[in-house]
Structure 1
């Protein structure tokens, strides 16, 4: 008998009753919904409520006329946008949409709570939704008022402004369709924006006979778009972080120029021993000179300063820098690890951690590229010879008075003249990228040629022996048959 009752409750009647079970909360909810016809449970449910009248409050009686006016089952309605309908229609549509859906057990409590909502609360919600609709209408009218204005200033462009009609939003809000004219202009990239400037630059370079070395490389690692700006910054910083050219005479009393030359000549051998890149050697010499320009040092600590500066440079330039123990070993354990670490702290604090400096090696890369722009095949001998001449200046204290860019340009000048005496080694392209005229290089080139010929008979031969190797094409043995002084 119990199973029969359950089957009667879950079976639809012939009067078009919904398949979902109707509870007291649902009946209360449907009864207060703007005159909707209530849904009645079956006769078994009436008997069940009568039997429980003593425990729970019975549902109110329904008029008999509404029983005949039961509505047929409808399909599930699609919920509309709450911003485009009023509160009453929203509430009715939600009830209609929920009629054909089975009630889940986990949502039973929430439905019962919703059934106890008073009409006053519903009225407040209706007012809130209407306020939102009014705000949206005001915003649409504001957009219409401002739509005729240009978003961007007037610019002569080949494209016409695009009209965007916002008919769907206005139709949903039961408003008159509004046309919002929005002018959309195509975005212009850096290449389009600077196209005119680039054309003017190319024309001026061609008129001057300068070859644009930045437009011929498609390799992204060459940074062709930023190379000019990078080297402009390097030209400016080389003056700020340049060591004092006369610190030996003004500050240092215990060391001499010869001691400095011996130290650097030994560091060249150390860099070869550990296969360090040339940038590490150049930066090491720069750190040594900058430290000696500001701090007095005794000759017993000069080698310690040298290995410490090479340790710092290795950490900055190398991928796999040598360890502190290796630098202690290369000095025959003259200094302990603690002394090297302490000196490293002193150097970095004195230099304020400014170890990114423009050295002649950085300018050589740019100038060699400009020097080979007219060659059909790049000259390896020119590159090795220019690097050899530039490294010779590291040992010589007298070259501290010259800027790194001037030293690099002089190395290019003398290297081109050593390899080819048929034409002037300087041309408009080199003058443009080095920012030095041939007349400005006279003193530097003449002193550099003295180093190349070793007119002073220096015994510091580490750099010469280094570039005598076949891998460097033995460029240290090359000499120019004609004097370079005849070019000035």
Structure 2
């Protein structure tokens, strides 16, 4: 290296980090130096080139840091709409919050970048206030319909201004209101068909909540369900003409009349008798049975019904004995397996007795003292139908309603038998019961001279108030 280069003054590198202000000041001094010294030596030129590169890199870093700071601040605004205490015009607060790591002085925001977050902040604050006015903790039935347009407009505003964190509670409220409307509509349809129980002339028979065995809270739902079940599991109405060739409706009547005597012999509950008849008809609806095995089917179905309904059911040997040992124990058990497999063990079937209990309760709602004769007479009329094959065309609920209708008319012809309360709980009108009531009255009067008298003899006893001897003073056809 020559002597001139060794003696030339060195340009020292700055010991501190160059900021944009220092870089600008350094640039001005370099211009003065270049104007005063037109000839720059080689060592000085190299130092100036290095310093200019550092200035450019520092300016880029400062601009990047400033941009990142603005973006971070904007994300913070979208995340928390309630943060309205920050003065966004003072950028030094953001720099002080971030810390002195970069030592970069952030310039104030342009006016356009400042107005957009401010507008978003104001809109979201208003939306949050509107949302807070709607009490989410209230029950859904208290959500008024007039609030739905407000919720819809809030959702529209949130979608436009990026309030994704508020969309979930607003959408939940709208969905809850929409789910409530179909349920309310379905309830109105049911009340329109059955009649409103809030009317003054309709008595609420489920108001007795003190008796846990009455299941008063669940009674409406239970009977709504069994009204569907009685249609699904009803026997065929024409299986004698369609399938059975060896047995006749009179044979079926003789079998059931004999089973009534068997139930009286073993003191079985009425539900067992009704279920026995239902199982017989459902099996005969799809299976061909010879007349030699008809009695075997009858005692087997009564054995199954006894196991289902009775606390202590008669043994298989007792049913064999009641048939004078016509069938062995093995034959009864084999038939039991065949019937249960065919029915897929579906023994929970609503019968006429199931509906009769509720309809009698509704019929006596207007009485100050329960009428025992009404209950016995309705049960007597309902049991008369199980012997007749022609009554299979009527649903169990129709037969029960008709029995209560005719029983009220037999005891008292001064009032209409179908009261508003009874019409509400049966869901049948007078015109809908005309055919079944007239047919039931013919059974009561025994106009056809039927010789099957097991049920009639049963209800002639004094324990049933001898209701089998009662007849209406006036024919029921005058009501239709």
- Report the counterpart of residue 338 of structure 1 in structure 2: 330
The C-alpha deviation readout for 1:362-412, integer Å capped at 9, x for no partner, is 000010010000100000000000000000000000000000000000000
State the shift of 1:203 in Å.
11
CA distance in 2, matches of 1:154, 1:373: 42
User: Which is bigger in relative contact order (C-alpha 8 A, separation at least 6)?
Assistant: 2
* Matching residue of 1:214: 206
Q: Does 1:286 align with 2:278?
A: yes
- Which runs of structure 2 are paired with 1:109-124 in the superposition (5 Å)? none
Is 1:155 the counterpart of 2:155? The answer is no
SS in 1 for 2:320: helix
**Which residue does 1:73 correspond to in 2?**
none
> In the alignment, is the contact (CA less than 8 A) between 2:209 and 2:217 conserved in 1?
no
Alignment of 1:406 with 2:398, yes or no, is yes
Q: What is residue 122 of structure 1 aligned with on the other side?
A: none
Q: Is the 2:320–2:328 contact (alpha carbons within 8 Å) kept by the matching residues of 1?
A: yes
Alpha-carbon displacement from aligned partner over 1:220-257 (angstroms, at most 9, x marks no partner): 11000000000001100000000001000000000000
Where in structure 2 are the equivalents of 1:283-432 lying within 5 Å? 283-432=275-424
Q: Which runs of 5+ in 1 are unaligned?
A: 1-144, 159-192
The separation in 2 between residues aligned to 1:267 and 1:235, in whole angstroms, is: 27
In structure 2, the CA distance between the partners of 1:264 and 1:203, relative to structure 1 (3 Å rule), is: closer
CA contact (8 A) 1:468 1:475 kept: yes
Name structure 2 gaps, 5 residues minimum: 1-79, 84-127, 140-179
Matches within 5 A, 1:136-147: none
Shift of 1:206: 3.3
Out of 218, 224, 240, the position equivalent to 2:216 is 224
Higher helix content, 1 or 2: 2
Greater mean deviation of Cα atoms: 427-436 or 453-462: 427-436
8 Å contact kept, 1:390–1:411: yes
CA contact (8 A) 1:386 1:415 kept: yes
Pick aligned residue for 1:477 from 439, 463, 469: 469
CA contact (8 A) 1:239 1:403 kept: yes
* 1:468 is the counterpart of 2:460: yes
Question: Contact (CA 8 Å) 2:405, 2:418: kept in 1 or not?
Answer: yes
Give 2:261's aligned residue: 269
Tell me by how many angstroms 1:204 deviates. 3.9
Residue by residue, what CA displacement relative to the aligned partner does 1:433-482 show, whole Å, maximum 9, x if unpaired? 01111110000000000000000000000000000111100000000110
